[in-house]
Amino acid sequence: MPRRVALIAGGTTHKWGVYPGTLRDIVSEAAKACFDSNPRVNSRDIQGFIFCSVFPERSAYQSHTAPWAAESAGVAPDRIFCRVENMCGSGTVGIRTAYTAIAAGLADLVMVLGAEKMFIPNRQEIVLNMLTGVDREWEGSTGLTAPVQFALAAQAHMNKYGTTEEHLAMVSSKNHRNASRNPYAQFPKPCTVEEVLASKPVATPFKIFDCSSITDGGAAVILATEELAKDLTDNPVYILGTCQAASGFNHANIPDDWADWVILSQAAQTAYNMAGIKPQDVDVAEVHDCFSASEIIEYEALGFCPQGEGGNFVATGGSDYGGQVVVNPRGGLIGCGHPLGATGVAQAIEIFRQLRNEAGERQVANAKIGLNHNLSGIAEHHVVIYGRQEVL
Amino acid sequence: MPRRVALIAGGTTHKWGVYPGTLRDIVSEAAKACFDSNPRVNSRDIQGFIFCSVFPERSAYQSHTAPWAAESAGVAPDRIFCRVENMCGSGTVGIRTAYTAIAAGLADLVMVLGAEKMFIPNRQEIVLNMLTGVDREWEGSTGLTAPVQFALAAQAHMNKYGTTEEHLAMVSSKNHRNASRNPYAQFPKPCTVEEVLASKPVATPFKIFDCSSITDGGAAVILATEELAKDLTDNPVYILGTCQAASGFNHANIPDDWADWVILSQAAQTAYNMAGIKPQDVDVAEVHDCFSASEIIEYEALGFCPQGEGGNFVATGGSDYGGQVVVNPRGGLIGCGHPLGATGVAQAIEIFRQLRNEAGERQVANAKIGLNHNLSGIAEHHVVIYGRQEVL
């Protein structure tokens, strides 16, 4: 059996949005916030360091960023270090990489740090950087950017299941409301369904409030073996199950009906099986709402509600406080912003805090099992399921 | 106990150097060569895909390259996929990432593919791309490029131990001679010690023949669980031990005496302990000769000879056929070229072939244990030790 692995610390940069410094500064601040969250961890004991960042080559003119960022984080790992890049899902891929290293016995204590500096002086260059994430030759060049891809999925879902623009706006309104209780959120101002519907059009059916944003930000967590975790914290949060899957890259090759993310259902099922739980056991979930419609499709693919019922699920409060599963209590990508490599790590920190009963006014009552879903386009999904000690 | 992991297939693009196609073409050709090497593997069974590439963002204007490359490789993984980037050591980091995923039980059959397109039309841009690998703000801007860093290490070693320019030239001459028996080598023409010494100066004490090159190339391997490996090949090559370590990034912060790579000694010792072997048990080694002096310092840090005796080791044939350990039989980076993300994977393929007695006229007699060392600058090292079934 692989060794059990737990989260034991986590912290983010203080306020996401336009960061008044370099990528290096973001790395340092995120690492400090993480160490500050658990004074029992000594930075000299960190044996591994995984850096999650999508385009430091373009935003900081720097590749070879694992040791570069480790140095800025104040750690000197002697077992494993690696930079991972899976576009919007890089943070969760980093956590999985640390998980496997610890589970396989190569290291005992590993920091995962995600950071992105997306705001750069040249506005045109920001768009070009985002375009590196889609198929450059076939999609970027023809305008099939991320908002358009997800808008097409939204239209497919509306057409197939009768999902409405109001349903989408309900997701946005819920996540903005949750973000209003999150100190680091980029967009902490609540907004009504009517305000979402009246906001500026982006790509039909999305209005600007249906979309996540360009964001600077950083987040870091520390993972440990079960034995070390028990030494270093009174409330470890364990990884119970995880999976990743992709059904293609170029959207012309993706076999799925875009209204049903079959590949996510498969990945989630593998993760549920590994964790030995069912979707109904999940108390709190951080899911990838890069656009409002994504969250609705994810309710279904993750098994929180039947196929086609995602719109009704949000409309009846199934994903809100008091509902079946509280989804995106930190405010999601729509409320917090989406600094690519940092997002998955920050999602994990929210689950960590919720399962430790440390989420303050965002706390989900009696949360024991949390699920994190992070994606990299409609055809590439990453799932990690976490649990408190008592559910092992 | 983590699960045992083995190499079961491997192949490279046909001839390294200037590749007459795109990065995508390199990926496709490397994957095909890998599948061609083992007809028992069905590409539909591949559950994981690790892509190793340093700057596709700059050479192909493409990030999010794990699913992008998986598609070009003809695989659709449903357990793990990830792009790793650790500059010159990316290939070995990719193999370690696949190793941990399999050892920890997340996947059973994983392809690791390294590819780099370094030759681009704008010559100045090639240099700028390489500069992203050093500390941009403090080193790149002041001229502390890779050749200069390693030249300073060479000078330190010459000053401390009496190593000579002739010793360095002997490494280059040996590796060019080995490359002459390797069909994919970029520089397959043998050269004498005198020819190396008379070649064009680069950074004292390095002449052009002491240096590896800008290279386009690709390489892919498949790793499997022990059980699957026994099904899919008659000669699996097992991973016995592995470690990674870094002692810093900015060279001003690296505590080591540059003549002795203490951090490599530590990483190697951890890997030897994990494998349960001693340096003297290694029959064949692929080590990172980005510059001739590196190989000499590595003989010592890897324990093949005593500290300070590296020059004498090559001079007395210790690293050549018939010596204590055959080092760089495929011709090393000096003979084969150095397409960053592909190098570590190609090194592993050479060990794979040597331990299966499939290296043709390069075959090291009766090779049972092989070591692969890949680095990412003088302060960041990656070691993997491989063995035949009979040494388990």
What is the per-residue pLDDT for B61?
Answer: 86
* Cβ distance of B57 and A61 shorter than 8 Å: no
The average confidence (pLDDT) of chain A is: 96
Q: Whole-angstrom Cα distance, residue B255 to residue B342?
A: 29
Chain B neighbors of A76, CB-CB under 8 A: 246-248
Delimit the domains of chain B by residue range: 5-122+215-237, 142-211+240-391
Show the tokens assigned to A315. Answer: 């409309």
CB neighbour list of residue A48: distance below 8 Å, 6 or more residues apart: A77, A79, A80, A81, A98, A101, A102, A106, A107, A109, A110, A111
What is the per-residue pLDDT for B58?
Answer: 83
Give the mean model confidence (pLDDT) for residues B102-123: 95
Q: How confident is the model at residue B56 (pLDDT cuts 50, 70, 90)?
A: very high
CB neighbour list of residue A367: distance below 8 Å, 6 or more residues apart: A283, A284, A326, A354, A355, A357
Chain A neighbors of B99, CB-CB under 8 A: 104
What is the per-residue pLDDT for A210?
Answer: 98
A9-29 tens-digit pLDDT: 999 999 999 999 999 999 999
- Residue A295 touches partner B, C-beta closer than 8 Å: no
CB of B327 within 8 A of CB of B295? yes
Give the mean model confidence (pLDDT) for residues B65-75: 96
Which residue of chain B is at minimal alpha-carbon distance from A380? B67
What is the per-residue pLDDT for A297?
Answer: 98
Q: Whole-angstrom Cα distance, residue A98 to residue A221?
A: 10
Residue A1 has pLDDT above 80, yes or no: no
Residue B306 has pLDDT above 90, yes or no: yes
Q: Whole-angstrom Cα distance, residue B103 to residue A78?
A: 20
Which residue of chain B is at minimal alpha-carbon distance from A52? B84
What is the per-residue pLDDT for B141?
Answer: 85
Q: Whole-angstrom Cα distance, residue A76 to residue A43?
A: 8
Which of these, B346, B329, B327, lies nearest to B15 by C-alpha position?
B346
Q: Whole-angstrom Cα distance, residue B240 to residue A323?
A: 50
Chain B neighbors of A131, CB-CB under 8 A: 61
> Minimum mean pLDDT among A143-147, B48-52, B310-314: which range?
A143-147
Give the mean model confidence (pLDDT) for residues A123-150: 89
What is the per-residue pLDDT for A254?
Answer: 83
Catalytic residues of A: 88, 338
Query: Residue holding tokens 């790509």?
Result: A203
- Closest Cβ opposite residue A105 in set B2, B76, B263: B2
Q: How confident is the model at residue B57 (pLDDT cuts 50, 70, 90)?
A: confident
What is the CB-side half-sphere exposure of residue A102 using CA atoms within 13 A? 31
H-run or E-run covering A5: strand A5-12
- Letter string b/e over residues A194-229, b meaning 16 or more CB atoms within 10 A of that residue's CB: ebbbebeebbebbbebbbbbbbbbbbbbbbbbeebb
Chain A neighbors of B67, CB-CB under 8 A: 246, 248-249, 376-377, 379-380
CB of B267 within 8 A of CB of B231? no
Q: How many CB pairs below 8 Å do chains A and B form together? A: 197
A142-152 tens-digit pLDDT: 889 999 999 99
Give the mean model confidence (pLDDT) for residues B143-162: 96
Q: How confident is the model at residue A121 (pLDDT cuts 50, 70, 90)?
A: confident
Which residue of chain A is at minimal alpha-carbon distance from B243? A79
Q: How confident is the model at residue B53 (pLDDT cuts 50, 70, 90)?
A: very high
Give the mean model confidence (pLDDT) for residues A350-362: 98
The average confidence (pLDDT) of chain B is: 96
Chain A neighbors of B270, CB-CB under 8 A: 78-79
CATH 1.10.15.40 assigned to domain A142-213+240-391? The reply is no
- Residue A196 to chain B, least CA–CA distance (Å): 30
What superfamily does domain A5-122+215-237 belong to in CATH? Thiolase/Chalcone synthase (3.40.47.10)
The third-level CATH classification (topology) of the domain covering B142-211+240-391 is Peroxisomal Thiolase; Chain A, domain 1 (3.40.47)
Catalytic residues of B: 88, 338
- Residue A82 to chain B, least CA–CA distance (Å): 6
What is the per-residue pLDDT for A285?
Answer: 98
H-run or E-run covering A201: strand A201-203
Show the tokens assigned to A183. Answer: 């100190």
Give the mean model confidence (pLDDT) for residues A165-170: 98
Count, residues in chain A: 392
- Closest Cβ opposite residue B104 in set A2, A253, A267: A2
| Tally of CB atoms within 10 A around A22 | 16
The per-residue DSSP string of A267-282 comes to HHHHHHHHHT--GGG-
> Minimum mean pLDDT among A86-100, A194-208, B244-258, B293-307: which range?
B244-258
Q: Where are the beta strands (DSSP E) in chain B?
A: 5-12, 48-52, 80-84, 109-116, 201-203, 206-207, 217-225, 237-246, 284-286, 326-327, 369-375, 380-388
- A residues 135-154 closer than 8 Å to B (CB): 135-137, 140
Residue B43 has pLDDT above 80, yes or no: yes
CB neighbour list of residue A34: distance below 8 Å, 6 or more residues apart: A9, A10, A11, A111, A113, A220, A221, A222
CB of B163 within 8 A of CB of B310? yes
CB of A12 within 8 A of CB of A346? yes
CB neighbour list of residue B263: distance below 8 Å, 6 or more residues apart: A78, B245, B246, B247, B256, B379, B380, B381
Is there a shared CATH topology between the A5-122+215-237 domain and the A142-213+240-391 domain?
Answer: yes
Q: Whole-angstrom Cα distance, residue B229 to residue A188?
A: 53
Which of these, A333, A266, A265, A263, lies nearest to A304 by C-alpha position?
A265
CB of B256 within 8 A of CB of B156? no
Q: For chain B, give the percent of residues with pLDDT over 70.
A: 100
B218-276 tens-digit pLDDT: 999 999 999 999 999 999 999 999 999 998 899 888 877 899 999 999 999 999 999 99
What is the per-residue pLDDT for A383?
Answer: 98
**Best to test chain A binding among B1, B4, B106 (most A CBs inside 10 Å):** B106
A27-66 tens-digit pLDDT: 999 999 999 999 999 999 999 999 999 999 888 889 999 9
> Minimum mean pLDDT among A193-207, A242-256, A353-367: which range?
A242-256
